[in-house]
Amino acid sequence: MLEVGTKAPDFTLPDKEGKMVSLSDFAGKRVVLYFYPKDSTPGCTRQACAFAGAYEEFKTLDAVVIGVSKDSVASHQKFAEKHDLPFVLLSDPELTAIQAYGVWQEKKLYGKVSMGVVRSTYVIDKNGVIEKVMPKVKPDTNAAEILDYLRG
């Protein structure tokens, strides 16, 4: 995982419509960059819906929400439509941003070890520097914790 004070690595990935989006497109805004394992799974759906439910407040705090997983553009489109997700979802099947941010890690489930995305959130300041790192976040409380942090 990257540390507070580190310059956030830029990346360019396709969004749910296939349009290329770069982190640098959001220079001058705070960015809530959250990485999650998989579209349409129970935890990821609850997490995305919590961000969607708080989306207007994120906007009033001048923060952009970006979700990243290794799912395809088509998967993101279905996920976003089904749950009315108003924020940016980026597809990273090559693990470009996922690895750059250190969230591709060994995971253990029922004693089985595999590699996967560890649910993590970064807050990036208006100058592109990481100001908060939240590793291994809980899907049900992540959006609220970020809002509390942004409110100061």
The pLDDT of residue 60 is 97
Alpha helix positions (H), the chain: 42-53, 55-60, 73-83, 96-100, 142-151
The pLDDT of residue 108 is 87
Please give the chain's pLDDT, 152 residues, in tens: 999 999 999 999 999 999 999 999 999 999 999 999 999 999 999 999 999 999 999 999 999 999 999 999 999 999 999 999 999 999 999 999 999 999 999 998 899 999 999 999 999 999 999 999 999 999 999 999 999 999 99
Q: In this structure, are strands 104-109 and 88-91 parallel, antiparallel, or unpaired? A: unpaired
CA of residue 1 relative to chain centroid, distance: 14
User: Is 44 annotated in the active site?
Assistant: yes
The domains of the chain, with CATH numbers, are 12-151 (3.40.30.10)
Distances (CA, A) of 1 to 25, 33, 136: 23, 13, 11
Per annotation, catalytic residue among 23, 44, 65, 97: 44
